Amino acid sequence: MEEKKLGRRERKKIASRKAILAAAKQEFVRQGYKETSIADIMERADLGVGTFYNYFSSKEEILMSLLMGIMGEVTEHLAAMKEAGRSALDRLTVGCQDTARLLDENRFVLALFLSVGERGGAPHGKTEKGAPAAGRAPGFKDLFLAIIEEGQAAGELRGDVPAPLIAETLHGLFQSAAFSHLGLPFRENFEGKLKLLLDGVRQG
């Protein structure tokens, strides 16, 4: 609705940016982040290579934008659950499951997600998977931390374990599942560990 209120030029800019993001996602899935070039992305988007820099400064920025899109999807779902009166424990469970599902469907952002787990982001550089670390982290851990604190205040979660410790452990489950040698699919591995953790912090 909001886009309809914009002028033709603004709508074209929004459409071009969306096309670049969609093309990047397709290419990252097809050949991996490291192997995908800006030229590959722009060819799929049917736009000139020079146009890329009108919207993004690097592949790294595209990857961060895609990760932020995942966070936005999770955040919207959690907000709807809260509006519907769902408990903090339910929201924490579903939020983690949603995040694992979206990471599994978009594996090219997983290394970035893991590298920027701390507030304020990880140092610039390369992760061992070849994807770049970004200067600022999307606030997944902060999102979970806020729900944990609500759950403790409501008596749903144990209050004798510091909320930041629980949030850090939750984030660590994604890394554990990603690098596990058990042979289980990522989501099955993660959800099994998530159940163990939440059973441990559930009050009473």
**Does residue 44 carry a pLDDT above 60?**
yes
Q: Across residues 184-203, what is the average pLDDT?
A: 95
Place of tokens 């930041």: 164
Q: What percent of the chain has pLDDT over 70?
A: 86
Mean pLDDT of the chain: 87
Residue with tokens 């097809």: 30
> Read out DSSP for 96-161?
HHHHHHHHHHTGGGHHHHHHT-STT-PPSEE-TTSPEE-SS--SHHHHHHHHHHHHHHTTSB-SSS
Per-residue pLDDT band at 203 (split at 50, 70, 90): confident
Note the pLDDT of residue 66: 94
CA separation for the pair 67, 48 (Å, rounded) = 24
pLDDT digits (tens, 9 = 90+) for 47-88: 999 999 999 999 999 999 999 999 999 999 999 999 999 999
Pairwise CA distance, residues 170 & 190, whole Å: 10
pLDDT in tens, 83-136: 999 999 999 999 999 999 999 999 999 988 888 764 444 334 444 334 444 444
| pLDDT attached to residue 2 | 55
Query: Rounded distance, CA 133 to CA 195, Å?
Result: 29
d(CA 159, CA 196): 17
Enumerate the domain spans of the chain.
1-56, 58-201
Q: What letter represents residue 30's amino acid?
A: R
Q: Which CATH entry fits the domain spanning 58-201: 1.10.357.10, 3.40.50.720, 1.10.3720.10, 1.10.10.10?
A: 1.10.357.10
Provide the total of helices (H) and of strands (E) in the chain, helices listed first.
8, 2
Give the pLDDT score at 101.
96
- 37 has pLDDT over 70: yes
- The lowest-confidence range among 7-11, 57-61, 179-183, 197-201 is 7-11
Quick one: which of 193, 198, 146, 188 has its CA closest to 173? 193
* Total Cβ atoms within 10 A of residue 166: 23
- With H, G, I as helix, E, B as strand and everything else as coil, classify residue 3: helix
Is the domain spanning 1-56 CATH 3.40.50.880? The answer is no
In this structure, of 1-10, 97-106, 154-163, the range with the lowest mean pLDDT score is 1-10
What's the number of CA atoms in the CB half-sphere (13 Å) around residue 130? 8
Q: What is the mean pLDDT of residues 22-31?
A: 94
8 Å CB contact between 63 and 132: yes
